[in-house]
Amino acid sequence: MKNNQFGRLTISRSHELHELQSINFTDGTLFENANTQFADFLIHATLSANSEPVYQEKLHNLLATPSKDLAEFFAADLPLTVDVFYLVALQLLKFEAGTDFEVDNPIAAMDKINLPHVDSVKDAKEVAHAWYLLLTTHTKNGETFLDYLTQEGYFKDFYSETTEPLFFNGKVQAVFDPHQTIHEVVYVEAPLDTDHDGKRDLLKVEVLRPELTNHHYKAPVLYTASPYNQGVNDSYGEATTHNVDVPLSRKEPQKVSKQDVTAEKFNPILPAERTVAANSKITDETFARESPYTMNNYFLARGFAVVYASGIGTRDSDGIRDTGAVEETISTTAVIEWLAGNRRAFTNKVDNVSIDAWWSNHKIAMTGRSYLGTLATAAATTGVDGLETIISEAAISSWYDYYRDGGLVAAPDTFQGEDMDVLAAEVFSRKIDAGDYLKIKPFFDQVMKRLNRDQDRATGNYSKYWDSRNYLNNVKNIKADMIMVHGLNDWNVKPRNVGNLWNAIRDLPIQKKIILHQGQHIYINAFRSIDFTDMMNLWLSHKLFGLNNDAENILPNVIIQDNVEPETWNSYPDWQDANDTVKKFTLQAKALVDSSIETKPAAASFKDSLDPEIFEQYKNDMNAWHTDLLNTEHATNGKNHMRDNRLIFKSAQLESDWFIDGSPKVTVNVATNQNFGMLSFQLVDFGNAKRLTTTPTNLELHSLSGAYDWRTDDLREFTLQKKETPWKMISKGHINLQNRTNNYQVDDLKPNEFYDVELELQPTFYHLPKGHQLGLVIYATDFETTIRGNQLLQYSLKLNQSHLEIKLAKPSNQ
């Protein structure tokens, strides 16, 4: 168990006292001595006790020394010590005696769990300081003690008195009753007519705003653009999914310039805006339960408004869904423009009564993971006014990098056969309303045909279509500050998406922070070992409430979770750092050798085809395929059917820990027996070890909540797997051998002729420990990613003309 808190503020003692008073822990005057002050704080924190006997009973439950409970300790009038204070503190923080700490040395436990503590509690002032520190310290359940008290009801008596947000340690507190939230719907008029009905598209927006906004309070806004929010078409999406068991074929060689694949400027002819018939402050439509984004729930009791919109082509909105298109971005930013007072919305789709976001303070942050985070990224790249910051998790930065790689169709993990059209079909939720769908179906069917053509599964090449769906083209417009979160094991939205974005914004005059975790496609706000929620509270209190809390300097620019030590998060000066050391290897028979060592010419080859029965088995059990791909030990289950279908090269055992940073680069000199072909690569950590799970383990169901009597979340953590595993994939990459120049030009490929092929694998940050071996695995068909033709292809490599280049970062100081 290890606590990592980056979002805690250190402030002056007088400021601490002032804040303790503002949340009613003191009336401003401290008690005479340490014991009475401590007891008084404890009374305030013992929320279940409404009488002295009950309070005394709760003190009896707490151990003060190895042989006395706290009631006895107070009764004996012994002097308070740090040992007593922190023995009690550990229990208040929900750590368990005997299990999580030893009762005879609480300070050792505080240090081991990485919990901050003071050195002296000899008087009331020092106790107040220690108490302040305790309130900002994480419990065993990964929330601050004050947040724990909050969900136990600490602030519920504040609700009726709330007139403005309340801050503590730089973070806004839950003094707004979430059950009094106002739910209303408006329809934003977007500068679009994507369904070609001659009227601008109206977009349904669900607003949740504090009741206090009815009384002159202006709320900042968390806005989540989620195409999934109004429902999805799972069976339609499934029916649209492409067969991936199709052969790779030769592409006609062609010279293509960057200009040829540069998207044209978006310049639609638009219908006029609607004529406003009247203006209203009152909406016509409400909704019961939104489909919430978890982190927003935490902030709903803290004075934020939360706004959800699904955009064009979704239930109750106009328009047509075209995933990744400029129109989708405009549909996303139209809502921000309304929230910032720069665009019109209506109370319904019929009578032209307009309505302003009169309750908004015009400062907006976008939140969301995956497609939701992608739309936040898209919005940021427009530089739209009012968007102060985005917090995007596992976001796509270019749709080509989601569905394609190196001139190949390359599916996100576990979504083989999915493509732009499938996703568009999935989120086209206007289909759910049969009355609405009746009219829009013919037009949407045309759009689906166009998408199917333009996404071009036949070549996998980058094109104008993909270029118009590449947000990286517009990063120069970004004005919002950027918080990015991504999993280094996210093989759905692969790390390249955030890697390229980070590189592109590194020198922009904005604030940018990145957190890289060891998960796959998940969110981290309920994790025990990192105070993500606190950090975001600090950040949003600063960005949206304008609180002067130094968040920009306190939050590290780069936080990366270690993949060897559980619950360890380090800060770094950069990711994909220009100051890294380059390390280059040359391929030899089964080995990676340092490139400074001279090597003799050697060759190796592998085939791609499999026995049809084995091919079917692997299709149905991709884990088995992946295991056989990487398994170099003697196969326990008989033959390893991948033995002749890949080459594995391993380094010597490492003599010290390495921190591989950024994109590994592979150069191979390769020939194939046909006039087409592809290569896949995996960078692998070989070495027996108990590794972290990439799917979080639920530690405690329903244990977290942002407020009293409110929605809950499950405490989670990556934990060490119970058994050792012999390897772990670090990164991967794919290339069509006809895309040697780039991903749009098609090069010729002559059978049995050798070509140099160079590519960058997905960027990473990987702690490869001493004693392990770095491995490079070269193969062709990737069952999880590429099309699977099971063709009679053979590949040969000239090993000494083939190289791997990685970059090594320095270990973190922290």
Three-class SS of 130-188? HHHHHHCCECCCCCEHHHHHHHCCCCHHHHHHCCCCCEECCEECCCCCHHHCEEEEEEE
How far apart are the C-alpha atoms of 550 and 537, rounded to whole Å? 12
- Least CB distance from residue 61 to a second copy, whole Å? 4
CA distance linking residue 308 with residue 291, whole number of Å: 8
The CA radius of gyration of the chain, in Å to the nearest whole number, is 29
Least distance between a second copy and beta carbon 783 (Å): 17
- C-beta of residue 353 within 8 angstroms of C-beta of residue 346: yes
802 is catalytic: no
Report if residue 228 touches a second copy, rule: CB under 8 A.
no
* One-letter identity of residue 201: D
Binder to a second copy among 22, 57, 383, 452 (CB under 8 A)? Answer: 57
211 binds a second copy (CB under 8 A): no
Q: How many CA atoms lie within 13 A of 808 on its CB side?
A: 14
CA–CA separation, 430 and 423 (whole Å):
14
- 512-517 and 481-487 strand pairing: parallel
Among 286, 579, 581, 698, binds a second copy (CB under 8 A): 286
**What is the C-alpha separation between 732 and 403, in angstroms, rounded?**
15
Options 297-305, 495-503, 555-563, 702-710: segment touching a second copy (CB under 8 A): 702-710
The single residue among 10, 21, 24, 61 that binds a second copy, judged by CB under 8 A, is 61
- Residue 443 one-letter amino acid: F
- What six digits make up the tokens of 525? 């706000």
CA distance 490 to 486: 7
Q: Residue 435 interacts with a second copy (CB under 8 A)?
A: yes
- Residue 479 makes contact with a second copy by CB under 8 A: no
Q: Which of 179, 258, 506, 590 binds a second copy (CB under 8 A)?
A: 179
Footprint of a second copy on 616-655 (CB under 8 A)? 620, 637-638
Interaction of residue 64 with a second copy, rule CB under 8 A: yes
According to CB under 8 A, which one of 158, 437, 754, 755 is a site residue for a second copy?
A: 437
DSSP secondary structure code for residue 212 in this structure: G
Query: Which listed range, 147-155, 389-397, 485-493, 791-799, lies at the site for a second copy (CB under 8 A)?
Result: 147-155
The single residue among 31, 158, 236, 754 that binds a second copy, judged by CB under 8 A, is: 236
> Does residue 813 touch a second copy according to CB under 8 A?
no
Among 255, 265, 289, 600, binds a second copy (CB under 8 A): 289
Nearer to a second copy, 99 or 813 (CB): 99
* Residue 483, H or E segment: strand 481-487
Contact (CB, 8 A) for 769 and 814: no
Q: In the complex with a second copy, which residue's Cβ is closer, 236 or 755?
A: 236
Q: What are phi and psi of 269, to 5 degrees?
A: -90, 125
Instruction: In angstroms, give the least distance from the CB of 52 to a second copy.
Output: 9
Structure token pair of residue 324: 């990744």
- State how far the alpha carbon of 147 is from the alpha carbons of 135, 706, 715, 787, in Å: 8, 7, 14, 49
Q: Is 241 in the site for a second copy (CB under 8 A)?
A: no
Q: Whose Cβ is closer to a second copy: residue 153's or residue 546's?
A: 153
> CA nearest 302: which of 469, 124, 181, 455?
181
Quote the least distance from Cβ 227 to a second copy, whole Å. Answer: 18
Distance CA 740, CA 756 (A): 8
Pick from 269, 438, 578, 597 the residue near a second copy by CB under 8 A: 438
708 binds a second copy (CB under 8 A): yes
Please tell me the distance from the alpha carbon of residue 808 to that of residue 581, in angstroms, as a whole number: 5
56 contributes a contact to a second copy by CB under 8 A: yes
Cβ distance to a second copy smaller for residue 218 or 349: 349
Q: Does 521 qualify as catalytic in the annotation?
A: yes
| Nearest approach, Cβ of residue 683 and a second copy (Å) | 30
* Cβ–Cβ under 8 Å, residues 209 and 301: no
Do residues 208 and 306 make contact, with C-beta atoms less than 8 angstroms apart? yes
Q: Which of 117, 517, 521, 767 is catalytic?
A: 521
Q: Given the rule CB under 8 A, which of 132-140, 321-329, 434-442, 534-542 is the region that contacts a second copy?
A: 434-442
- Cα angle 143, 147, 149 (rounded to 5 degrees) comes to 120
445 is catalytic: no
- Residue 604's Cβ-side half-sphere holds a number of Cα atoms within 13 Å equal to 19
Question: Is 612 one of the binding residues for a second copy (CB under 8 A)?
Answer: no
Residue from 20, 23, 62, 516 in contact with a second copy (CB under 8 A): 62
Q: Which of these segments, 64-72, 215-223, 641-649, 799-807, binds a second copy (CB under 8 A)?
A: 64-72
Rounded to the nearest whole angstrom, what is the least distance from the CB of residue 315 to a second copy in the complex?
A: 8
From the list 95-103, 193-201, 550-558, 777-785, the region that binds a second copy by CB under 8 A is: 95-103
State the binding string over 319-358 for a second copy (x if CB under 8 A, else -).
Answer: ----------------------------xxxxx-------
- Measured CA angle at 357 (ends 351, 358), to 5 deg: 110
Give Dmax (Cα) for the chain.
91
Helix boundaries (H) for 68-117: 70-76, 82-92, 106-113
Our finding on whether 97 is near a second copy (CB under 8 A) is yes
Amino acid 420 reads M
**753 exposure class (CB count in 10 Å sphere: 0-12, 13-18, 19+):** exposed
Measured from the CB atom, the residue of 100 and 574 that comes closer to a second copy is 100
Q: Which residue has the tokens 């069509």?
A: 736
Give me the catalytic one of 226, 310, 360, 370: 370
- Binding test (CB under 8 A) with a second copy, winner from 432, 593, 654, 720: 432
What's the closest the beta carbon of residue 285 comes to a second copy, in angstroms? Answer: 5
Q: Cβ 76 to a second copy, closest distance in Å?
A: 14
User: What tokens does 475 get?
Assistant: 């990063």
Of 269 and 438, the one with the shorter C-beta distance to a second copy is 438
Question: Should residue 60 be labelled a site residue for a second copy when binding is judged by CB under 8 A?
Answer: yes
Cβ atoms of residues 765 and 806 within 8 Å = no
Task: For residue 548, state whether it binds a second copy (rule: CB under 8 A).
Answer: no
Q: Which of residues 723-752 bind a second copy (CB under 8 A)?
A: 723
Least distance between a second copy and beta carbon 152 (Å) = 4
The site that binds a second copy (CB under 8 A) totals a number of residues, namely 60
Q: Does 615 bind a second copy (CB under 8 A)?
A: no
Q: How far is the CB of 347 from a second copy (least distance, A)?
A: 7
Q: Which amino acid is at 495?
A: P
Out of 490, 534, 661, 685, the active site residue is: 490
Indicate if the alpha-carbon torsion angle 158, 164, 170, 171 is positive or negative: positive
Q: Kind and range of the H or E element at 617?
A: helix 612-620
Cβ within 8 Å of residue 731, ≥6 positions away: 495, 663, 664, 682, 683, 761, 762, 763, 764, 766
* Choice between 403 and 708, CB closer to a second copy: 708
Residue 99 binds a second copy, judged by CB under 8 A? yes
Rounded CA separation 365/481 (Å): 9
Q: How far apart are CA 357 and CA 339, in angstroms?
A: 5
**Rounded CA separation 373/256 (Å):** 32
Pick the piece of the chain touching a second copy (CB under 8 A) from 301-309, 379-387, 427-435, 488-496. Answer: 427-435
Contact call for residue 414 and a second copy (CB under 8 A): no
Please identify, using beta-carbon distances, which residue of 97 and 256 lies nearer to a second copy. Answer: 97
Residues 35-54 that bind a second copy (CB under 8 A): 47-51, 53-54
Interface residues toward a second copy, by CB under 8 A: 47-51, 53-54, 56-57, 59-64, 67, 69-71, 91, 96-99, 103, 151-153, 179, 185, 235-236, 283-289, 315-316, 347-351, 432-438, 620, 637-638, 705, 708-709, 723
Report the catalytic residues: 370, 490, 521
